[in-house]
Amino acid sequence: MKYRCLVLDHDDTVVNSTATIHYPAFREYMKMTHPENLHFTLDEYFLYNFDPGVIGFFRDICHLSPEEMTQEEAFWKEFVNEHIPLAYPGMREILWEHKEKGGLICVASHSFSHYVKRDYDHNELPEPDLIFGWDLEPSLRKPDPYALHEIMRTFDLSPSDLLVLDDLKPGYDMARAAGVPFAASGWASNVPEIEKFMRKNCDYYFKTVEEFGEFLKT
């Protein structure tokens, strides 16, 4: 087994959620509160979630007040409650094969843990061994390496035993801070700036789910 533990991002890495859920929710909220922000395209939404990240995007680029940030999160929660994303084709087989070989699957996500559990159940994915979601204290969420340190402590693993798979820069920053190998999942979007950064800086870059699956077998 190449890596004992796969540490997976959730949205746009395991499930196709930004294009089908998060971006539509963003547009619906902005339509009600800040229609001047409706010009942001899906690719721009991906780019700003990449850097500076969702908090920086809402606060510094969309100019939401602290009260509006709280309202947006509540609106997003309700939207996500009513929409379940689908796993990318091939991901189910990859994760089950890893588990059946005795591997661990952990999730480090900016989604709430109960949504991650729901999505894994709905898509018939193997139950994660640990989940570190948005319900963590803000200081412990990605890009902080807390999740990786906890995984290594819990399962007595070294950094080389883990592989982080994520489509955005917070996951990259988290992995680098803990000295853990990082692979970029490039199948959710086609934003040149993101792909250029990931190909240049990451240990591995996979444009398709199939490429990632083949990598784990070698």
* pLDDT tens digits along 159-171: 999 999 999 899 9
Region 115-121: what's the mean pLDDT? Answer: 97
Residues 173 and 179: their CA atoms lie apart, in Å, by 10
**What is the per-residue pLDDT across 177-202, written as a single tens digit (0 to 9) for each?**
999 999 999 999 999 999 999 999 99
* pLDDT, the chain, mean: 96
Q: Is the pTM of this model over 0.75?
A: yes
For residue 16, give the nearest of 73, 91, 72 by alpha carbon.
91
For residue 167, give the nearest of 145, 132, 144, 197 by alpha carbon.
197
Task: Tell whether the model's pLDDT for residue 49 goes beyond 90.
Answer: no
Helices (H) and strands (E) in the chain, counts: 10, 8
Residues 120 and 206: their CA atoms lie apart, in Å, by 22
Q: Which tokens is 84 given? A: 């379940």
Could you tell me the maximum CA-CA distance found in the chain, to the nearest angstrom?
A: 51
**What is the per-residue pLDDT across 11-48, written as a single tens digit (0 to 9) for each?**
999 999 999 999 999 999 999 999 999 999 999 999 99
Alpha helix (H) residue ranges in the chain: 23-33, 42-50, 54-56, 66-81, 91-100, 113-122, 146-155, 169-178, 192-201, 209-217
Question: What b-and-e string marks burial along 5-33, b requiring 16 or more CB atoms within 10 Å of the CB?
Answer: bbbbbbbbbbbbbbeebbbebbeebbeeb
pLDDT above 90 covers a percentage of the chain that reads 94
**What is the per-residue pLDDT across 53-75, written as a single tens digit (0 to 9) for each?**
888 999 999 999 999 999 999 99
